[in-house]
Structures are given as C-alpha cells and as structure tokens.
Chains A and B, each alone.
Chain A
C-alpha cells in the first residue's frame, strides 16, 4: 500500500478515535497520546513496529479531532451552579439559555475557520517568517513569560466591594477574590517547583510528570463540581442554522488566531492565556465572536503548536503533543511538513462533519442520563488513568492539584491562575534564579 493511503487511513482512524474520546469529559488527548507513545516504544524492534507514516498523521489527526470535538463536553456537560460558582463561562451561558447545540456548533465553526487559517495562511508563510521571529525572540522568552504573569495577576478584577460604605471592610470584600487568585497562582507555582525539580513520580514515567497535576488542576474540579452541582440543565433546542455570517467568522479568526498563535508559539503559554490576551487585545463585544474565537484559538493552539515541530528551518517543539512525538521522531525536510498539513486538512473536515451528529447524540444522551452520573464515570476513568500511568503518588499529586484547582472556582478568582504551575517555575528558571528559589525551599 502506498504511503498516501497509509497516511490517509491513519488520519481517518486518528480523527474518529479522538472525536469519540473527546466526548468524554475530563479526558485530555495528551493523556491518550501518552499511552500511544508508550505502545509505540514498546513495539520498536519487533515485527509490530509502527512506522512514522502511520503514527505521525494519526497523532496530528488525534489532536485535530480532540481540539474540535472537545467543545461538546465543555459546553454541554457542565451546568454552572450559581450557588457555588462566581462566574458563568460563555459556553455555559448558551447552555443555560437552552442553546447548547448552537453554542457548540458556533465553536466548531471557529475550529474549522481556524483550520483554514492555519493551512492556507500560516503554513505557507511559516517557513519564511517564523525562523526570523525565532532568531529575534530566542533569548527573550523569559521576560515574555514574566510580562504575561504580570498582566495575568494585575488584570484580575475584584468581584466584590460593590456595596457598603468606603473603608477597609469594602477593600477586603473586594480583595478576597484577588487574594484567592494570588494564592492559587503561588500555590500552583510551588507545586510546579516541586514537580519540575524533584518530582515524586517515578522517573520511568517521567514524561507524564506533570499530567497528574494538570488533571487535578483542571479536569477533576470540573467533574467534582458537576457531581455536587445543585443546578439542572434546562431543556435544549437544536437549531437548524447558526446566527453567524462572514464578518463574524472573520473577526473571530482575527481574535482567535492571535490568541491561539501566541499560545502555540511561546512556550508554556497555553490556549487559555492566549485567549485572555487576545480577548483583551481585540476587545470584541459580540458574544458569538467570543465563542467562535475560542474555537479558533483552541484549534490553532493545539494544532499549531504541533505543526511548529515540522516547519522547515524552525523545528520548534511546543505543546505536549510535539514533546511526545519528539521522543519518537525527528522531522526533516519538507515532505514531513506536507504530510502533517495534509493530515490536518483531512482531519479538520472529518471532525467538523462529526460535530453535528456527535452533539445531537450527546444531547440525547444527557437528556436520558443525568450529567452528574456522566461526570462520576468520567471522574473514575480519569483517576484510573492517572493511577495506571503514575501510580498512587500520581493520585496524591492529582489530589493536591484538585485542591488548588478548586480554589479559583469556589472563591471567585480566575482558573487561569492555576497555570502558575508552569509559568512561575519556568519563568524563574529561564531568568536564572530558579535554582535560588529551589535552594531556599530545600529542594536542591
């Protein structure tokens, strides 16, 4: 069979597998890819060894499928409980308005638009311009992280302090949420220092060192709050069309590509941070643009960071997917680049086409089964996965991460502050005083 057909089937398989897995709440594609990498390594030098023409397109397709379809559980499987949470996320607003389907599909349109942008605009120019920017920015990543941290912490707004006479009581009422945010950031930062300097996880699975913490910070709180949520999901309607036009798509691509691009290019900056920065930069008021832009941003962040490894003349490793692929394969030449771009194009189309049926299926499913039970099952799967890969110590790290990850949701601050787990220690290390801090902590 020719390489073309092998790659095509691998792409289709990866897309379908990831799209189905993406419907499960709390499961991140990098966890699944981690297991895939383990399997590939185990099969090396055996008769079942998997060739790069199979696993590279498959990995790319998995990332595409997940980043597109993951919107479904993010929007549909998370009813905000206003007695427990301080803020309602934009996708959740649609859900509570009975327009969950619409919100999901608008995000999917964003993902598809992001795919067009990546393949038709970014990909042709990347080999020409990205090496230039890399040469200029190479030694400056450290302060870029620092200014992101500075802005993250300084731009968080107090949620209280709106009532009552002026004075310290009012000030404290306002700053409670900000202090929760700062506490989240620095506690997550400390967790990051521990994991990056002296991780208790076995060195044999160190490539998943950070996974238990991330699962604890983001996935578990989401599942837990769903389980204890006292709010029920309103009845959902399935619309035949979306209230979007070309102008909305264009502006969504503008803001989403900026956020996703920043996140893909700069190390440690994730999609959430990129989205926050782009949102502030583009100041779009229309909620459709916000939702669609999130779809664009997420797609470009996950897929774009994977592509960077294959850009000729650049070969930058960004994102968990690329780091895992790097342990298996070193890209060389333009053919690898075209292979990945082709896989992404096919996978984007297939994933988008799967969105509508999967969304409808999920709506049917959650109308039948309580979302709390679904979240319980998801929670069990996640815990099992963490335990299976990293053992009991991983579960303990996950538990600590859960505690930190719950703070922003329950005490009114930004979840983004949890990214201090990577931002803070790595910014310190890049600036040369990480070792000083770990010395004070007694970790080195």
Chain B
C-alpha cells in the first residue's frame, strides 16, 4: 500500500501478495520486486496454475498435434451425412459424376458419388492448379479418394478439398472411338478420339461461347468444345490448326445433340503424324496389323457415310469380292435376315445384307451383338465394318466390334430422304424465294469449315449457290458423306448472307449423295 491513508477501491479485499514483503511496495503479478529486487512469493495454487498453463500450452498442444497428425480421417458414406457433421473432416471414396469444371475465380468443382449419395466438391484456385499440373483433374467416371471438410446446410451439402497431396485418382478407362461411332450411349463417359484438326474457332468477342475445334478422322468430323482456360493449357496451340491430335473428351449433350468437351488442355496431345489406332487387346492389334499388311493401294478410302438412302463411298454388297480376303472394309446394305445363334450352341449371329441382287453374309459373336446399340432387323439399311473372309469361294464379312454396326436408315428403301423429282435449277432460285424450301442437285465444290457447320459451293448446269449445312441440323453421318466432287441432292431453305443467296440444308437427312 502506498500509505496508511484510506485504502484504494478494492484494495481492502486484495491479497497481501500484491505487495513486496520486503519493501511493502505494490508489485502486482510479477515475481521479483522492481524496487528492491526481492523475490515475491506467490501462493502454491497460483504457481501451480502458471506451470499448468505453460505445460498445457506447450506439451499439451504438442501431444494434441501428434494425435491429430496420426489420426486417420474416417471414411464416411455420403448417405450417412447428417447436419451435426457440419465442419467435419471426412474421407470420401467414390466416383466422379462429372468432369471437374473451372470457376471464374480459378477454383474448381465436381460432383462425386459413392453409391449412397452425391455431393459437390470444391477446390481453391491453388488446389485446382496443383491438380492440373499433376494431371489429376477428375473426369467423369474416374474413381477418387480424398479428404474434405464438410459444409452442411439445410438444403445442401458440399465438401471442400483439404489437400491435393492426399487426392488419389484412378482414371476410368477411356475407349478409343472413331468420330462416327460416337453415340448417345456414351453420354457421361470419357472417350479418346484422334484425327486431324480442320479448324479452331475462337469464341466471338464479348460472348460467353466456348472454343470450337473441328476434328476429322477417316470416319467423319466432330466438334470439340472447350473454354479459354483449357485453351491456355494446350501445349503447342500455335500449330494446332491442321495438326494431328489425340484427345480425351467427355461425351455430353447440348440441345439434344452430342457435344464433346475437352476438360483440360493437357488432355489434348499433338501428334507427329496421323494417329495409329488404339487397340483394346493384343488380338485386335494383331488382326489389324494383319489386315494392314494385306491391304492394297487400291483399297477404297474410308468415307463412312450413314445418310438415309445415301449410297456411300463405302462398299456396296456387290463390291465385296474374294479379292478383298483379309481386308477390313465397310459395307452398306439392307438387312434381309438376322439369324441369332441357337441356344446352347456357340454359333455366331448371321446377318444377310442385300443390295439389289447381291447378298453378303455377315457374322459376329454374341459379345459383339451386346454392344450394338440398334440391332439389325430385316428391312433396315445398315453399314457394317469387318474383315472379309472367304469361305467356300464366297466372301463373307466378319464383324469384330459392335460399334462398327451402325443403323443407316430404318425406313424402307422405297422412301429416299430427298425427292429428287422436285429438284430445280440453281439459277431459278432468286431473292424472292427467301424463306422457301427448294430441292437442288449438283456437284459439291471445296468445303469451307464454319463454326458449327460446313459450306460448299453447289454447282449444276445452270449456276452455283452456296450450300450451308449446320451440325446442329444435319446428322454427322450425312455430313461425313459429303466431299468435294460428290454429286448430291439437297433440300433446304433459301436464304441470303452478305448479299449472296444461299441454301440452308433442312434439319435431318436433307442431303443425299447421288451415284
């Protein structure tokens, strides 16, 4: 106390330990008097609490740290997540339901399912970069195993990735698929495609549209879409145009049409030359190698046409001869009969293809049949690819893959897509016909790639007109059948673009090749 006058407020009930026992001056909580240097004794309980504080704060914290460090984060089924688990760190083992998509802020997200529930997973921009750099960006179908922090609200739950170090991914196998073989059955899956880049269309300025990469292989053409962030990741993008590439894409739909999406620039590989076919088994590889060796220079180009009543550059039934023994060919013909194997036997399926007077026996095993999306039925026009085998001096076709069995047209042969009798001369089409439908026939000029379509100059004896075929309207198999020099009949709407008349092909099978 300072003096023996009235005690200061509260000091009358304070402990004597607040003063130095040696000099009597106020020292407070210190343990050495700053005036006389004497040690200030504190009661045992206070000393004990001080030591306890230091020990708990240091050693206790260290032990807690060790406990946490070596603790296994529990695997929790998404179906078992409850609101009380908000902020929990859990481990999720599941399958990515969607390709990871990048947000505007650079973060990333994807949905994962473990069979009991589905949840959205979020990653920070840094984590997204880490995953991209180590090629672990999840794609639809990939198996994932990671630890995340749960966020549970009344109407939704999500998970934030804790660490990329812990993020394990097992890629879903992606089948190598020809462009023309891409079907709706593949939606939601990842596939590998390869071909030549016809053109790359950047998005128009001030739009939110993606890039469009037109790729072409010997079966057809497709468009692959991706965003600026993916484009920036593509290595060697300066030489992309015209290059041969292999891409892993996911199959999606957009406006009821198949859309191929590139999830990351790293999924696009620029090749040194035309791609070699990817084989799913050594047997197939051997068969293909054998077929290649047997192939002659005269092998017709693979122009996989699937237009309704379109006679393609693929072989007709009558063109399959014994000379093609061992070669892989594509044949188009109308199914005359389908004979499944008898029960209990190891017989193959046998399909008879007919084309006018010619007939060809096509065989394939039940395993192949399982994969065929639309089974051949009598009367339907099919195109099948397989190896020609000669049996008793008669050629037959052995189909190895169900993906190579494609429906061309399920309408009777008597109903062609385009009524050629209605064809008019090109010169008769004027600006007054804008908005009206006309049928023309003529020869196609050099194709010009458009964003989302292709354009040709169609020339008949009376003149020329621009023919525009949009991918969103015209099936790809029809587009695939068209090329420079091909004679076609087309039904379309008369329009005008930059002062020039043009014909926009109608939706559906509005173009057919005329032999």
Please name all residues of chain A whose beta carbon is closer than 8 Å to the beta carbon of B50 when the two chains form the complex: 406, 410
Nearest Cβ on chain B to A199's Cβ, whole angstroms = 6
Please name all residues of chain B whose beta carbon is closer than 8 Å to the beta carbon of A38 when the two chains form the complex: 84
Q: How far is the CA of A371 from the CA of B124 in the complex (A)?
A: 50
Please name all residues of chain A whose beta carbon is closer than 8 Å to the beta carbon of B10 when the two chains form the complex: 80, 93, 95-97, 231, 234
A389 to chain B: closest residue by CB? B84
* Contact A187 B61, CB 8 Å, known A204-B82, A206-B87, A439-B163: yes
B19 to chain A: closest residue by CB? A83
Asked if residues B13 and A207 are in contact (CB atoms below 8 Å), the reply is no
Is B208 in the interface zone, CB < 8 Å from A?
A: no
Q: In residues 66-104 of chain B, which contact A (Cβ within 8 Å)?
A: 67-69, 71, 73-74, 76, 82-90
Is A156 in the interface zone, CB < 8 Å from B?
A: no
Is B277 in the interface zone, CB < 8 Å from A?
A: no
Asked if residues B166 and A444 are in contact (CB atoms below 8 Å), the reply is yes
Please name all residues of chain B whose beta carbon is closer than 8 Å to the beta carbon of A442 when the two chains form the complex: 69
Please name all residues of chain B whose beta carbon is closer than 8 Å to the beta carbon of A191 when the two chains form the complex: 61, 64
Q: In residues 50-101 of chain A, which contact B (Cβ within 8 Å)?
A: 79-86, 93, 95-98
Question: Which residue from A95, A190, A204, A228 sits with its C-beta under 8 Å from B85?
Answer: A204
Q: How far is the CA of A435 from the CA of B149 in the complex (A)?
A: 13
Please name all residues of chain B whose beta carbon is closer than 8 Å to the beta carbon of A230 when the two chains form the complex: 14-15, 17, 43, 46
Q: How far is the CA of A406 from the CA of B58 in the complex (A)?
A: 12
Is A400 in the interface zone, CB < 8 Å from B?
A: yes
Nearest Cβ on chain A to B136's Cβ, whole angstroms = 15
Q: How far is the CA of A331 from the CA of B42 in the complex (A)?
A: 55
A85 to chain B: closest residue by CB? B29
Q: How far is the CA of A204 from the CA of B56 in the complex (A)?
A: 26
Q: How far is the CA of A400 from the CA of B86 in the complex (A)?
A: 23
* Contact A397 B64, CB 8 Å, known A163-B34, A403-B53, A410-B49: yes
Interface string of A109-136 (1 = CB under 8 A from B): 0000000000000000000000000000
B12 to chain A: closest residue by CB? A234
* Contact A82 B28, CB 8 Å, known A203-B85, A206-B84, A403-B54: yes
Please name all residues of chain A whose beta carbon is closer than 8 Å to the beta carbon of B90 when the two chains form the complex: 203
Nearest Cβ on chain B to A112's Cβ, whole angstroms = 28
Asked if residues A403 and B153 are in contact (CB atoms below 8 Å), the reply is no
B27 to chain A: closest residue by CB? A83
Is B449 in the interface zone, CB < 8 Å from A?
A: no
Is A224 in the interface zone, CB < 8 Å from B?
A: yes
Q: How far is the CA of A228 from the CA of B420 in the complex (A)?
A: 105
Nearest Cβ on chain B to A413's Cβ, whole angstroms = 12
* Contact A84 B82, CB 8 Å, known A96-B10, A231-B15, A406-B53: no
Is A146 in the interface zone, CB < 8 Å from B?
A: no
Asked if residues A206 and B9 are in contact (CB atoms below 8 Å), the reply is no
Please name all residues of chain B whose beta carbon is closer than 8 Å to the beta carbon of A393 when the two chains form the complex: 67
B13 to chain A: closest residue by CB? A232
Is B57 in the interface zone, CB < 8 Å from A?
A: yes
* Contact A84 B60, CB 8 Å, known A194-B65, A432-B126, A441-B69: no
Q: How far is the CA of A410 from the CA of B55 in the complex (A)?
A: 14
Asked if residues B68 and A199 are in contact (CB atoms below 8 Å), the reply is yes
Asked if residues A323 and B17 are in contact (CB atoms below 8 Å), the reply is no
Q: How far is the CA of A207 from the CA of B90 in the complex (A)?
A: 13
Q: Which of A187, A197, A403 has the most CB of B within 10 A?
A: A403
Interface string of A200-240 (1 = CB under 8 A from B): 10011111011000000000000011001011111000000
Is B414 in the interface zone, CB < 8 Å from A?
A: no
Number of A-B residue pairs with CB-CB distance less than 8 Å in the complex they form: 203
Q: How far is the CA of A404 from the CA of B57 in the complex (A)?
A: 5
Is B212 in the interface zone, CB < 8 Å from A?
A: no
Asked if residues B56 and A400 are in contact (CB atoms below 8 Å), the reply is yes
Asked if residues A404 and B61 are in contact (CB atoms below 8 Å), the reply is yes
Question: Which residue from B16, B29, B45, B149 sits with its C-beta under 8 Å from A86?
Answer: B29
Is B379 in the interface zone, CB < 8 Å from A?
A: no
Interface string of B166-210 (1 = CB under 8 A from A): 100000000000000000000000000000000000000000000
Asked if residues B46 and A83 are in contact (CB atoms below 8 Å), the reply is yes
Is A143 in the interface zone, CB < 8 Å from B?
A: no
Please name all residues of chain B whose beta carbon is closer than 8 Å to the beta carbon of A444 when the two chains form the complex: 147, 162-163, 165-166
Q: How far is the CA of A439 from the CA of B11 in the complex (A)?
A: 51
Question: Which residue from B14, B53, B163 sits with its C-beta under 8 Å from A435?
Answer: B163
Asked if residues B69 and A327 are in contact (CB atoms below 8 Å), the reply is no
Asked if residues A204 and B84 are in contact (CB atoms below 8 Å), the reply is yes
Nearest Cβ on chain B to A344's Cβ, whole angstroms = 21
Please name all residues of chain A whose beta carbon is closer than 8 Å to the beta carbon of B57 when the two chains form the complex: 183, 187, 400, 403-404, 406-407
Q: How far is the CA of A95 from the CA of B65 in the complex (A)?
A: 40
Asked if residues B89 and A199 are in contact (CB atoms below 8 Å), the reply is yes
Asked if residues A200 and B82 are in contact (CB atoms below 8 Å), the reply is no
Nearest Cβ on chain B to A397's Cβ, whole angstroms = 7
Is A329 in the interface zone, CB < 8 Å from B?
A: yes
Is A37 in the interface zone, CB < 8 Å from B?
A: yes
Nearest Cβ on chain A to B326's Cβ, whole angstroms = 58
Q: How far is the CA of A153 from the CA of B12 in the complex (A)?
A: 35
Is B125 in the interface zone, CB < 8 Å from A?
A: yes
Asked if residues A231 and B14 are in contact (CB atoms below 8 Å), the reply is yes
Q: In residues 379-425 of chain A, which contact B (Cβ within 8 Å)?
A: 393, 396-397, 399-400, 402-404, 406-407, 410, 412
Please name all residues of chain B whose beta carbon is closer than 8 Å to the beta carbon of A406 when the two chains form the complex: 49-50, 52-53, 56-57
Asked if residues A83 and B15 are in contact (CB atoms below 8 Å), the reply is yes
A184 to chain B: closest residue by CB? B57
Q: How far is the CA of A441 from the CA of B163 in the complex (A)?
A: 13
Asked if residues A435 and B127 are in contact (CB atoms below 8 Å), the reply is yes
Is B501 in the interface zone, CB < 8 Å from A?
A: no
Asked if residues B9 and A98 are in contact (CB atoms below 8 Å), the reply is yes
Interface string of B23-44 (1 = CB under 8 A from A): 0000011100011000000110
A438 to chain B: closest residue by CB? B163
Please name all residues of chain A whose beta carbon is closer than 8 Å to the beta carbon of B34 when the two chains form the complex: 163-164
Q: Which of A79, A225, A326 has the most CB of B within 10 A?
A: A326
Nearest Cβ on chain A to B19's Cβ, whole angstroms = 8
A99 to chain B: closest residue by CB? B9
Asked if residues B45 and A234 are in contact (CB atoms below 8 Å), the reply is no
* Contact A84 B29, CB 8 Å, known A330-B154, A396-B64: yes
Asked if residues A190 and B88 are in contact (CB atoms below 8 Å), the reply is no
Interface string of B282-305 (1 = CB under 8 A from A): 000000000000000000000000
Nearest Cβ on chain A to B155's Cβ, whole angstroms = 5
Nearest Cβ on chain B to A324's Cβ, whole angstroms = 8
Please name all residues of chain B whose beta carbon is closer than 8 Å to the beta carbon of A210 when the two chains form the complex: 87
Please name all residues of chain A whose beta carbon is closer than 8 Å to the beta carbon of B166 when the two chains form the complex: 444
Asked if residues B68 and A443 are in contact (CB atoms below 8 Å), the reply is yes
Is A148 in the interface zone, CB < 8 Å from B?
A: no
Nearest Cβ on chain A to B41's Cβ, whole angstroms = 10
Please name all residues of chain A whose beta carbon is closer than 8 Å to the beta carbon of B258 when the two chains form the complex: none
Q: How far is the CA of A230 from the CA of B57 in the complex (A)?
A: 24
Asked if residues B64 and A41 are in contact (CB atoms below 8 Å), the reply is no
Asked if residues B88 and A200 are in contact (CB atoms below 8 Å), the reply is no
Is A328 in the interface zone, CB < 8 Å from B?
A: yes
Q: How far is the CA of A403 from the CA of B64 in the complex (A)?
A: 13
Asked if residues B89 and A190 are in contact (CB atoms below 8 Å), the reply is no
Is A198 in the interface zone, CB < 8 Å from B?
A: yes
Is B311 in the interface zone, CB < 8 Å from A?
A: no
Please name all residues of chain A whose beta carbon is closer than 8 Å to the beta carbon of B16 when the two chains form the complex: 83
Please name all residues of chain B whose beta carbon is closer than 8 Å to the beta carbon of A441 when the two chains form the complex: 65, 69
Question: Which residue from A85, A198, A234 sits with its C-beta under 8 Å from B68?
Answer: A198
Across chains A and B, which 10 residue pairs bring their CB atoms closest together, nearest first?
A403-B56, A96-B10, A206-B88, A230-B15, A444-B163, A406-B53, A83-B17, A203-B88, A403-B57, A327-B83
B contact set with A: CB distance below 8 Å: 9-18, 28-30, 34-35, 42-43, 45-46, 49-50, 52-58, 60-61, 64-65, 67-69, 71, 73-74, 76, 82-90, 105, 124-127, 147, 149-150, 152-155, 162-166
6 contacts between A and B (CB under 8 A): A81-B18, A190-B61, A230-B43, A327-B86, A402-B53, A403-B53
Given A86-B28, A224-B49, A403-B57, 18 other A-B contacts at CB below 8 A?
Answer: A38-B84, A82-B11, A82-B29, A84-B42, A187-B61, A203-B76, A206-B87, A210-B87, A230-B46, A329-B154, A396-B64, A397-B64, A399-B56, A403-B52, A404-B56, A404-B61, A406-B49, A439-B165
